[in-house]
């Protein structure tokens, strides 16, 4: 990832982004222009909310609603470093740009 790619991504990086028009749901982070959400699943080693039945079911509802609204949702654990997340964003951005270029031809 080069310096310019990183700068462009961080410019569009939004924390606690409310994505749903009716629900109070928020993404941990969002790249709004790409419609890519980043969600961190905490407490996976300690039986936290995301791994208990009701929390897992509510997460599924939220993520499915996001996909229906055109979002791509990437899920990470707290073990993932920011560099890994940003590298994934660069890859997605490049794929979307390539697809847009092909559609314009």
Give the residue ranges of DSSP H helices in the chain: 3-11, 53-68, 82-104
Instruction: Give residue-wise pLDDT tens across range 54-82.
Output: 888 999 999 999 999 999 999 988 787 77
What is this structure's pTM? 0.71
CA distance 30 to 28: 7
CA distance 90 to 1: 7
Instruction: Give residue-wise pLDDT tens across range 28-53.
Output: 989 888 898 999 887 666 766 666 78
CA distance 38 to 85: 8
């Amino acid at each position: 990832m080069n310096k310019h790619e990183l700068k462009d991504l961080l410019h569009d990086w939004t924390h606690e982004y409310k994505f749903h028009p009716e629900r109070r749901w928020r993404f941990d982070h969002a790249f709004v222009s790409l419609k890519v959400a980043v969600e961190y699943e905490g407490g996976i080693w300690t039986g936290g909310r995301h791994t208990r039945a009701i929390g897992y079911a509510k997460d599924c509802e939220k993520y499915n609603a996001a996909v229906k609204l055109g979002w791509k949702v990437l899920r990470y654990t707290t073990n993932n470093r920011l560099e890994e997340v940003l590298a994934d964003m660069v890859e997605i951005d490049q794929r979307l740009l390539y697809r847009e270029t092909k559609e314009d031809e």
